[in-house]
Chains A and B, each alone.
Chain A
Amino acid sequence: MCGIVGCIGRGEDTVDVLMAGLRSLEYRGYDSAGIALGPEMRVLRKAGELDELAEVVEANEPLGSYGIGHTRWSTHGPPNDRNAHPHTDENGRVAVVHNGIIENYAELKAELQETGVTFTSDTDTEVVPHLIAKALAAGDDPETAFHNTVDRLEGSYAIAAIIDGSETIFAARQGSPLVIGVGDECTYLASDVPAFVDHTRDVVFLEDGHRVIADTDGYVVLNEDREVVDVDVETVSYTAEATGKSGYDHYMLKEIHEQPTALRQCFSGRSDALEGTVTLEEIDEIPQPNAVQFVACGTSYHAALYGAVVLREMGIPAEAYLASEYALSPPPLSLGTLVVGITQSGETADTLAALRDAKSRGVSTLALTNTVNSTAARECDHAVYIRAGPEIGVAATKTFSSQLVGCNLLAEELVDGPRDLRPLIESLRNLPDDVQSILDTSAAEELVEEYGGSDAYFFIGRGTNVAVALEGALKCKEISYEHAEGFPAGELKHGPLALVTPETPVFAVVTGDDERAQKTLGNIKEVQARGAPVIAVTDGESDAAEIADETLMIPDTDERAAPVLANVQLQLFSYHLADALGRPIDKPRNLAKSVTVE
């Protein structure tokens, strides 16, 4: 995934507006960046983080009264200068930025090469400026050339282009996010609202198939048939500053500390503790599904695993699927199945593809997301928001906690039948303070002094704590780059146990004192017998703390709420491990916040 920006009507501020916009989209990728400016058709681009481009811009002082920009997360071709956007045609008359994947680019490239076009990059994007140039050469005016080119593209894309001789930005959306910011006598384009929210809060959320023609007089939105469509201008509420670090060293730590607030917001107004009921107004009307299929990726997939366990325990057949597998190897669907996509951004391409596949097969879909008006929220039949607030750190933290609470709310709303939810409600209401008490007292940082530098880190748990084990390992991998694996505790002896040595600490997530906890205690002894130190993450209900070598305590709570708390301890361990290793915690290598390519 990548981020694109554009602006017209800002005169000599154009470069600053584009660079600030890219800065706020860095969470979408940071392999390389570039800008193109009209009417002089200046293109500056550079491999590496945005700071590298900023140096080039400072040295060259480019001028322009409108332009486009790009921050890249590589899909086609390594992150070097040559593959950085914007891409141009052979004469530098057309400059294009693109987020997404053009699936038929090989075919288009071959066709262009046959006519003698020389390609200078490995990207799929480069076909676009060449196609536009060819259409111009064939006599098309710039707008027609743009339309004719976009008509030929297959795949997912958000594209913005500028063409010499036309003081206009041309843009198109198909499957990748693109929004218009409506300013005073100026127009902004971007992959996401933060890119221009400093300048305007009036936003048009474009739909697939929409094309935008923006010039100094304003903008027009057209459909695929090039007919003008009416679009709504919405006013968004958040401010650009809502994405600052508030003095924390990293967004990740800030977001870990925001969890009490995020959890309070997620749960607020959605329960009646006096009546013992939970209400999600958004989906009050949905009948109880016969079965639930979750589709999600990464951390959200771990939340889906948790949600599926919760629903199964309530008697509803439920499974979690990796979204990237789901669309290509779809499981059978029966009528009355609800497909739930969990995606923080609401733009995750794999999850969107899985949801679209489910929808095309005639079942209801629901998005559990953090992002109001995201593509997932708009395309699904229903949307439930987790209200965690903006999350910038690439490694998801507070949104995972809120997704777990969201899964509980969803399950309780979907499943009929009278039951006393007061104990669950009490534990979910207590979560903010329980998390705060972990933040106030956690020993995770001291454990890093003891166990940093180990060969590998393993995480085990059973039931809903499987999700915590997998998430703990993923967090550790993502930000510390250390080898980490999570397993259902019982699965260890079927293979992974071969990896366990005295140099591989094992984190055992043990909450409550039921059979699952008891059996996990057995697994703790298994790894201790191989000399591995064990860190129990536990509420003290079982004997885990006594058996284990070290303990990360969590407050005693309901079994549904305990995984949220256990996970916070593991977040803190991974954070402090990565910090001790000097990793770029908010921008781990090769990763991007939300992945809008399949």
Chain B
Amino acid sequence: MSNSPATDGSRPSSAVVLAAGEGIRLRPLTANRPKPMLPAGTRPILEHVLNALIDAGVDDIHIVVGYQANRVRSHFGPTYRDVPITYHTQSNQLGSGHALLQARDGPNGSFLLVNGDQIIDHRIVEAVSTAHTDAATLAVVEGPEAVDYGAVHLDGETVTELIEQPASGEFRLFNAGVYAFSQRIFETLEALSVERGELPLTAAIQQLIDDDHAVGGVRTDHFWMDATHPWDLLSLSRELLARGWVDAPAVDSDVFVHESAHVHPDATLVGPVVVDSDVVIEAGAVVGPYAAIGASATIGPGSVLRDVVVDTDTVIGPNTTAVEFVAGQGCEMGAALTASGGPADVVLDEQVYTDVDLGGVIADRVDVGGGATLEPGALIGPEATIGAGVVVRGHIDAGSEVVR
């Protein structure tokens, strides 16, 4: 008992998880659920986040929900892995600081804060938790991504400045989005006002620094990853599979199959691959490497899938070829779909992303007729219907019907 770090009174054992945002850049996958509920491997991103917290000794979880909150609530319910969950609702998405304020009545004493849409090694949480002494502590990572995530100026183990939008290449240390706070953060947030429709957490941290409160920085090089664009779900899944961070028993070194799945003896699983509960993989299918097949999905006979994320309840028809392909929940695909992989130039929100390794993305409950082809980088919105033999290029809107 006494050697367990979790029992050390000064370490925060509560955590707040921010899971209220839609994740606009992940549309059309987020039509029915917030970004934290998108699949990382075969489980929602948020499930991995909660695993990391619980593995780090957290025993009281507060989730801030907003966009499509019911999806989060009904997935986790009142407890996850025997740890109680309290839900706090953020009705308007006014930034991370505003989101945290919604959980003001949640944790007692110091607490951890993580993003619900970002996968983290539990050791990052432990490092922040152990180092936390005063007003705030944050995990600091070294890498070229500082441009995207906001740079950190570190003096020893003290954060001296947060730089929101650093010039490229100027800084190498950045904020990994894993924090520990004392209750003071709530007062600081309340004293700040929502500006330009947003109250970012970093503003409050900067305020703490300006007010001479100690803000600690913990250097860490453990695994850390998030998804910004739909195709990032493929790399997220790849990373998790490579680490064996999947929730199914291993039947071979890197082949993970849930006990209730049915894999035909003439089907081939090529690791790394994960097959979740009640999946059916029919004869002659070749699934993997880097395939994540969600619960109750069906892979038709003779289909070849590589580098795919297939979400729950989706049916892939016979003789499909799918490479670098993401399918949402409850899709039905007819025979012989072809999605042969990137690279592609993808246009998202009027921005062009070049050389993306993406065969195609299909959002929830899309029906695809037999013999359809996805040109590299195709994005199909939810509940769209694609007729037999159609060749899909670019972006198809939600609910639309494409017959040729």
Contacts and interface: CB of A to CB of B under 8 A. Distances in A.
A497 interface: no
Nearest to B63: A247
Interface string A254-271: 100110110010011100
B4 to A, nearest CB: 20
Given A261-B75, A436-B329, 5 more contacts: A239-B79, A243-B78, A254-B77, A260-B74, A264-B277
B74 A246 contact: yes
A433 B312 contact: yes
Interface in B326-383: 329-330, 365
Contacts of B75: 261
Given A245-B78, A254-B73, A257-B74, A268 B260 contact: yes
Interface of B: 32, 65, 69-70, 73-79, 82, 84-89, 259-260, 262, 264, 277-278, 280, 282, 295-296, 298, 312-313, 329-330, 365
Contact of A433 (B79, B260, B264, B365): B365
Nearest to B263: A274
Contact of B262 (A241, A257, A272, A439): A272
A269 B78 contact: no
Q: What's the dominant secondary structure at chain A's contact region?
A: helix
Contact of A247 (B87, B282, B312): B87
Contacts of A429: 278, 280, 296, 298, 313
B316 to A, nearest CB: 13
Contacts of B74: 246, 254, 257-258, 260-261
Contacts of A242: 77-79
Nearest to A245: B78
Contacts of A274: 262, 264, 280, 282
5 contacts: A241-B79, A241-B84, A248-B73, A257-B73, A426-B298
A305 to B, nearest CB: 28
A162 B313 CA distance: 55
A260 B294 CA distance: 14
Contact of B278 (A246, A267, A437): A267
A165 interface: no
B115 to A, nearest CB: 19
User: Which 6 residue pairs spanning A and B have beta carbons closest together?
Assistant: A247-B87, A244-B78, A433-B330, A433-B313, A269-B260, A257-B74
Given A258-B74, A429-B278, A247 B65 contact: yes
Contacts of A254: 73-74, 77
A409 B334 CA distance: 28
Contacts of B77: 242, 244, 246, 254, 258
A71 B339 CA distance: 62
Interface in A153-172: none
Contacts of A430: 296, 313, 330
Given A269-B259, A433-B329, A440 B78 contact: no
A246 B280 contact: no
B87 A246 contact: yes
A255 B89 CA distance: 19
Nearest to B314: A433
Contacts of A248: 70, 73
Contacts of A56: none
Contacts of B32: 436, 440
A264 B260 CA distance: 12
Nearest to A430: B313
A430 to B, nearest CB: 6
Contacts of A261: 74-75
Interface core residue of A247, A248, A272 (most chain B CB under 10 Å): A247
Contacts of B82: 239
Contacts of B86: 247
Interface string A421-459: 000001001101110110110000000000000000000
Nearest to A269: B260
Nearest to A263: B296
Nearest to A440: B32
B278 A269 contact: yes
A273 interface: yes
Contact of A432 (B85, B87, B260, B312): B312
B84 A432 contact: no
Nearest to B277: A268
Contacts of B87: 246-247
Interface in A308-339: none
A436 B382 CA distance: 14
Contacts of A267: 278
Contacts of B298: 273, 426, 429
B73 A247 contact: yes
A444 B70 CA distance: 17
A219 to B, nearest CB: 27
Nearest to B301: A274
A440 B282 CA distance: 30
B104 to A, nearest CB: 16
A500 B298 CA distance: 47
B85 A246 contact: yes
A439 B134 CA distance: 45
Nearest to B86: A247
Nearest to B280: A273
B262 A273 contact: yes
Contacts of B259: 269
A246 B365 CA distance: 27
Contacts of B280: 273-274, 429
Interface core residue of B32, B75, B89, B330 (most chain A CB under 10 Å): B330
Contacts of A258: 74, 77
Nearest to B65: A247
Nearest to B74: A257
Contacts of A260: 74
Given A246-B76, A246-B87, A254-B73, A264 B329 contact: no
Contacts of B76: 246
A58 B86 CA distance: 27
A439 B70 contact: yes
A432 B32 CA distance: 15
Nearest to A425: B280
A247 B365 CA distance: 27
Contacts of B277: 264, 268-269
Contacts of A269: 259-260, 277-278
Contacts of B78: 241-246
A247 B69 contact: yes
B85 to A, nearest CB: 7
A244 B88 CA distance: 14
B75 to A, nearest CB: 7
A246 B62 CA distance: 11
Contacts of B278: 264, 267-269, 429
A420 to B, nearest CB: 15
B280 to A, nearest CB: 4
Contacts of A241: 78-79, 84-85
Contacts of A272: 262
Contacts of B65: 247
A436 B330 contact: yes
Contact of B296 (A257, A432, A437): A432
Contacts of A257: 70, 73-74
A440 B67 CA distance: 13
A344 B367 CA distance: 36
B295 A264 contact: yes
B81 to A, nearest CB: 10
Interface in A224-245: 239, 241-245
